[in-house]
Structure 1
Amino acid sequence: MLNEIAFNTLSKEALEQLSKGAFLSVKHGDQENTMTIGWGTIGVIWGKPIFVVAVRYSRYTYDLMEQTNDFTVSFPLNGQLKKELGLCGKTSGRDQDKFKEYDITAVPGKNVESPMIEECDLHYECKVVYKQAMEPATLDQGIKDKSYSNKDYHIMYYGEIVGCYKK
């Protein structure tokens, strides 16, 4: 059972887990996908609780994000789903249904169209309020060299947190 909580109740735990991986899920029409993310932030912008996620242009998730206005981020906080996080970070939803292939369960969002991952402990539902393409010319050269040697940059999606749930 999911209990609604304030967005910042478990933000410390969410941010600690983020470096180990979380699931970014999105749905457009009958197409659903999830991918592993290791970068993001939770905060307050424009007086709203915001979750910012970074998605590379080359990702199938980017294609879906550009066609919809919401996403979810699901966190396994108790050490579960390590294998699935690894697999979802290495394979593309263009080629397979990750939910079916890796035996993870997509459950409908309560306030958004995008699904949450049932096996996770913490979920953020977000509505996109702003997106911003990275400007490579303004990026620190060390970061550019380390993370973007192939020039596959990110677009940042700012999602207003419209629901936060703990299992």
Structure 2
Amino acid sequence: MLKKIDVKELHENPFTLIGDDWALLGAGDKDKFNSMTVSWGGVGILWKNPVTTVYVRQSRYTKEFMDNNEYYTLTFLKDGHKKELTLLGTKSGRDIDKMNDSGLTPIEVENGITYEEAKLVFVCRKLFKNDLLKEQFVDESVFDACYPDADDFHTMYIGEITACYISE
């Protein structure tokens, strides 16, 4: 069961959460939604709001859901779900019913979909989006290392955290 809290009550390490534990980025509603695993992103304060920053490649099915919905969720699962995170990060919802195949249990929260197996959920309202382009990189070695296929850049989304849930 998830309990809504003030985001300022959190004491989690965002570097561990995003970089090591990974997260599920999801958008849509109970009738049609998609999630994908992310291990790039950030949490902080911007424009006087608590925000998350997430990145989605142009080729990802989840991008359609991100572009067509006002809100998205960033879900961190309880320990022991790397197999599910790997599936949701490597398979496309265009090709398989990965929302069912993952074995995770989707549930509704305010303005979004998350999973019963969540330990932490951010519900975010999109404030900003921008496509990353080669000419924007100050350090070209970053571009070269992360974009060997120059046709599949990321879109950056910044969302205000409008709700935060933790497992009880």
TM-score by length of 2: 0.91
Pair 1:157 & 2:157 matched: yes
Greater Cα offset, 120-129 or 90-99: 90-99
Counterpart residue identity of residue 75, structure 1: F
Matched, 1:24 2:25: yes
Higher strand share: 2
Of 1-10 and 44-53, the range deviating more from structure 2: 1-10
Query: What displacement does 1:98 show?
Result: 1.6
The one of 135, 138, 153 equivalent to 1:137 is 135
Q: Which runs of 5+ in 1 are unaligned?
A: none
Structure 2 residue runs without a partner (length 5+): none
SS of corresponding position for 1:86: helix
Provide the residue aligned with 2:58 in structure 1.
57
Q: Aligned in 2, Cα 1:3/1:131: closer, same or farther, shift over 3 Å?
A: same
Distance 1:94 1:119 in 2: 24
Equivalent runs, 1:28-43 vs 2, <5 Å:
30-43=31-44
Contact 2:30 2:108 in 1 (8 A): no
Aligned to 2:83: 83
- Equivalenced residue count is 164
Deviations along 1:39-63, one digit per CA (max 9) or x if unpaired, are: 1101111111111100011000111
In the TM superposition, residue 36 of structure 1 has moved relative to its aligned partner by 0.2
SS in 2 for 1:12: coil
What per-residue deviation string (whole Å, max 9, x for no partner) do you get for residues 104-150 of structure 1? Answer: 1111122x1x3012101000000101111112112121111111010
- Alignment partners' CA distance in 2, 1:30 and 1:6: 28
Instruction: Determine helix, strand or coil for the equivalent of 1:166.
Output: strand
- Alpha-carbon RMSD: 1.6
Give the number of the structure whose residues are more often helix, by fraction: 2
Using the TM superposition, give the Cα deviation of residue 28 of structure 1 relative to its aligned residue in structure 2, in angstroms.
5.5
For structure 1, which segment, 7-16 or 131-140, has the greater mean C-alpha deviation from structure 2 after superposition? 7-16
Contact 1:133–1:156, Cα closer than 8 Å, also in 2: yes
Instruction: Identify if the C-alpha distance between structure 1 residues 101 and 158 changes in structure 2 by more than 3 Å, giving closer, same or farther.
Output: same
TM-score of the two chains, using structure 1 as the length reference: 0.91
Counterparts of 1:58 and 1:68, CA distance in 2: 17
Question: For the residues of structure 2 that align with 1:80 and 1:29, how far apart are their CA atoms?
Answer: 25
